[in-house]
Chains A and B, each alone.
Chain A
Amino acid sequence: MKRCVWLGCLALVAVAALSGAALAAKAPGDVHVALVVKDLTNRFFVEMKWGGEAAGKQHGIKVTVLAPEKYAVDNQIRIMEDLIQKKVDAIVIVPIDGAGIVSGIERANKARIPVFNLNTLATGGEVIGFAGIDHVQLGRIQGQWAVDKLKGKGNVVILEGTTGASSAIERQQGVTEVLKKAPGVKVLASTTAKYNRQQAMKVMEDLLTRFPEIDMVLCANDAMALGAKEAIKDARRTMGVVGIDAIPETLEAIQKGEVAGTVDSNGFDQGFVAVDLTAKYLLKDQKPPKDTLVGSGMATVITKENALAFEKSKTEKFKKFGIKVD
């Protein structure tokens, strides 16, 4: 019995010592910012992650990047709740759904943890600022290039993003806005392929069956563009395929001539700006502007002419921040 008591006391001391050590390890001034994105299997968000981490390194703060394992705003709320428990110093959030994330933001507000809103606008809760790219503008750039390339006349199909996603809605808005002003360009069909490569391939296959004459395919993201181009290649048809996001695989495909163009949505800068502004807020008490517009890395569609140059400039940029690109 006595041995039991001794062992018990020893265990208690051990636990106390360990937790004490853990607590003591947190040096004063160690600032921890969490960046919560939508989905880390998407190259766009991986670059956003790099941007955030680069900004963190510049300021000497700790940045962790998280994403839900399931693409649902409910899971993002759970991540935010857990971050609140971990007592992070600030959260940068890219909401999967602008309204759905509100209760997560409000909970952070109650815990007095500052929240910075990135990329997709949250419709409620208090945030210290917003930064993002104008998805509508991305859509416009894509649409305008298509109209110019077709010289105002031709058949077009549109592959939209996940129904209901704000980026998808906005990009679609931009594209249709421009196309409407070109009466000679006919939109044969506009349907969703859920931002997914495989889905896009299947949908494109059936679109090719439906319409024997298509001149251009406008895709709301690169994954769908890459899926669509495979279907087109297999069917031995030719048409222009344009995407958005400018991921490396697309740039390669552009140089090979399989994809006509893409638009840069500049994930890196978005992540960088957001964490940078947040860090300045935490360390220097500088209140961020209410809205910061992050520009596209390139204001035009990236095509065969400039793809290589663009890719090089991006690699240079990453190297500058010490990021190794595979």
Chain B
Amino acid sequence: MTLSSRALYRVAAVTAILAAAWIFVPRFGTESNLINLLRQAFLLALVATGVSLTMLVAGLDLSIGAVAALSSCLAATVIVQGHVALGVLVGLAVGALGGLLNGVMIAKLKLPFFIMTFSMMFIVRGLALTYTQGTSIHGFPQSFTWLGKSFVGPVPMPVVLGGAVLGLLYLVLTKTTFGRITYAVGANAEAARFSGLAADRNLIRVYALSGLLASLSGLIYIARLNAADADLGMMWPLEGIAVAVIGGIAFSGGEGNILGLILGGIVMAVVGNCVNLLGLPARFQDFFIGFVIILVVLVDHLTQKRGKVAKSLAVHSHSVAKEGGP
């Protein structure tokens, strides 16, 4: 795996941030804190996986939080009764179904991704709240909570699971046809379609995957919390986008390395962790995140200016003359 200059800059920046935190923030470098940090980073990266895939195809999935909430609440009902494996299956199935619905409406019925996933967000969140009536489902057997709480040696399970998922996605995106089509569709859906690359089917798969990954993240979250609430994931779309952008996934589609999500997750986790460790009021977190995002993308852009301009010209020359006028 060759590291592009973009990736190198990112790794360097993240290392610098970590070093600064180590020096200036008390107790940052303790073993327990670093383990917490790692866990938090991978949890965030997991949340961002689905969204990143949809960003790769120049789209966005705003419904990930809601889908995670509904699927985990339904799964929780089953799990509390002792059927852990069944519950997990139910959760993943619901997530995949939701994503599938998104994908079909977007690819086949040509609904803009924004309207579809935004509306889904309302619908699914409403269903989750109606289902739980605002109560929480709690008290999971240990055979389930290990997903969020156990360790493999010194490494927390969410890190292992997150790492596995990201690794798998990386392989899929770089080594399979599906992955190649995904990048192609993102870069230029028109060209992809005209060259017969089954762009529609790819889109459906991407959104279905996004839903599946959202529900997986949801399950790991509730395993850690030991309770499922219908308000899970309220900020996920935005947090996921933040992690993705910091990690190098572009909104315009077609570029970004999924492994960058780890870096994005680390940055987000470090900011939150430092704010807490320094005893700063929580409000500084949002400001820093916004600032970091712009900084990261600026650096990105400045180190890649030539490539971007060429690409934007290519995209624009493809756009057919549209109806203008009011």
* Contact present between A and B (CB < 8 A): yes
A46 at the binding interface (Cβ < 8 Å) = yes
Question: Which chain A residues border B129 with CB–CB below 8 Å?
Answer: 41
- Interface segment among A103-111, A175-183, A205-213: the answer is A205-213
Nearest A residue to B276 via CB reads: A206
Q: Is the CB of A43 within 8 A of B279?
A: no
For the complex formed, measure the closest distance between the CB of A229 and the CB atoms of chain B, giving whole angstroms: 9
Contact A209 B33 (CB under 8 A): yes
Q: Is the CB of A43 within 8 A of B135?
A: yes
Asked if A305 is an interface residue, CB under 8 A from chain B, the answer is no
Whether B134 pairs with A189 at a CB distance below 8 angstroms is no
Contact mask for chain A residues 131-153; partner B; CB cutoff 8 A; 1 contact, 0 none:
00000000000000000000000
Given contacts A202-B40, A202-B272, A235-B32, contact A40 B134 (CB under 8 A): yes
Q: Answer yes or no: B81 CB below 8 A from chain A CBs.
A: no
The stretch that binds B, out of A7-15, A87-95, A191-199, A286-294, is A191-199
- Is B200 in the interface zone, CB < 8 Å from A? no
Which interface residue of B136, B221, B229 has the most chain A CB atoms within 10 A?
B136
Q: Which residues of A contact B230 (CB under 8 A)?
A: 41
Q: Are A43 and B134 neighbours in the complex by a CB distance under 8 Å? A: yes
The answer, yes or no, to whether B83 is at the interface (CB within 8 Å) is no
Residues from chain B with Cβ under 8 Å of A43 in the complex: 134-135
Q: List the A side residues contacting B136 at CB < 8 Å.
A: 197, 249
Known: A41-B134, A234-B149, A235-B32. A191 touches B281 (CB 8 A): yes
B255 at the A interface (CB under 8 A): no
> Which residues on the A side are within 8 Å of B229 (C-beta)?
41, 197
Among residues of B, the one whose C-beta sits closest to the C-beta of A229 is B226
Question: Would you call A203 an interface residue if the criterion is a C-beta within 8 Å of the partner chain's C-beta atoms?
Answer: yes
Q: How many interface residues does B have (CB within 8 Å)?
A: 32
A residues 148-171 near B (Cβ < 8 Å) are: 163
A42 & B134 in contact (Cβ 8 Å cutoff): yes
B225 touches A197 (CB 8 A): yes
Contact A209 B272 (CB under 8 A): no
Residues of A within 8 Å of B272, CB to CB, are 202
**Is the pair A201, B225 in contact by a Cβ cutoff of 8 Å?**
yes
Cβ contact of B135, chosen from A46, A194, A208, cutoff 8 A: A46
Instruction: Determine chain A's interface SS by DSSP, over half rule.
Output: helix
**A209/B32 in contact, CB under 8 A:** yes
B227 and A249 within 8 A (CB): yes
Residues of chain B lying within 8 A (CB to CB) of residue A226: 138, 227
Tell me, rounded to whole Å, the shortest Cβ–Cβ distance linking B251 to chain A. Answer: 26
Residue B277, interface by CB 8 Å: yes
Interchain CB contact under 8 A, A230 and B226 = yes
Query: Taking the complex as formed, is A30 at the interface, i.e. its CB lies under 8 A from any CB of chain B?
Result: no
A230:B224 contact, CB within 8 angstroms:
yes
Does A56 interact with chain B (Cβ within 8 Å)? no
Residues of chain B with a CB closer than 8 A to A210's CB: 26-27, 276-277, 279
Confirm or deny: B36 has a beta carbon within 8 angstroms of a beta carbon on chain A: yes
CB pair A206 B282 closer than 8 Å? no
Contact of A198 among B32, B36, B134, B225 (CB under 8 A): B225
> Considering the chains assembled together, what is the distance between the CA atoms of A326 and B272 in angstroms?
37
Whether A227 sits at the interface, judged by CB under 8 Å, is yes
The answer to whether A206 and B135 have CB atoms under 8 Å apart is no
Q: Which residues of chain A (203-227) have a CB below 8 Å from chain B?
A: 203, 205-210, 226-227
A198 CA to B40 CA in the complex, in Å? 12
Q: Is B257 an interface residue (CB 8 A)?
A: no
Known: A191-B282, A192-B282, A234-B149. A206 touches B225 (CB 8 A): no
A230 touching B225, Cβ below 8 Å: yes
Closest Cβ–Cβ distance, residue B286 to chain A (whole Å)? 13
**Residue B195 at the chain A interface, CB threshold 8 Å:** no
Q: B273's closest neighbor in chain A, by CB?
A: A206
Cβ–Cβ < 8 Å partners of B30 in chain A: 209
Given contacts A206-B36, A209-B32, contact A191 B134 (CB under 8 A): no
Bound-state Cα–Cα, A182 to B182, Å: 64
Whether B282 lies near A227 (C-beta < 8 A) is: no
A46 adjacent to B225 (CB under 8 Å): no
**Chain B, 258-290, contact with A by CB distance < 8 Å: what is the 0/1 string?**
000000000000001100110101100000000
Which residues of chain A come closer than 8 Å to B300, judged between CB atoms? none
Q: Which residues of A contact B149 (CB under 8 A)?
A: 234
Distance of A206 Cα from B30 Cα, bound (Å): 11
Partner of A209, one of B27, B133, B134: B27
User: B residues within 8 A CB of A40?
Assistant: 133-134
> Per-residue CB proximity of B172-184 to A under 8 Å, as 1/0?
0000000000000
Contact with A along B1-35 (1 / 0, CB 8 A): 00000000000000000000000001100101100
Instruction: Give the 9 A-B CB pairs with smallest separation, nearest first.
Output: A41-B134, A206-B276, A209-B33, A40-B134, A230-B226, A209-B27, A205-B36, A249-B138, A234-B149
A-B CB contact pairs (8 Å), 12 listed: A41-B229, A46-B135, A194-B282, A197-B227, A198-B232, A206-B277, A209-B32, A209-B33, A210-B27, A230-B226, A252-B139, A326-B135
19 new A-B contacts, CB < 8 A, other than A41-B231, A198-B225, A249-B138, are A40-B133, A40-B134, A41-B132, A43-B135, A163-B281, A191-B281, A192-B281, A198-B221, A202-B272, A203-B276, A206-B273, A206-B276, A207-B276, A208-B32, A209-B33, A210-B27, A226-B227, A227-B225, A249-B227
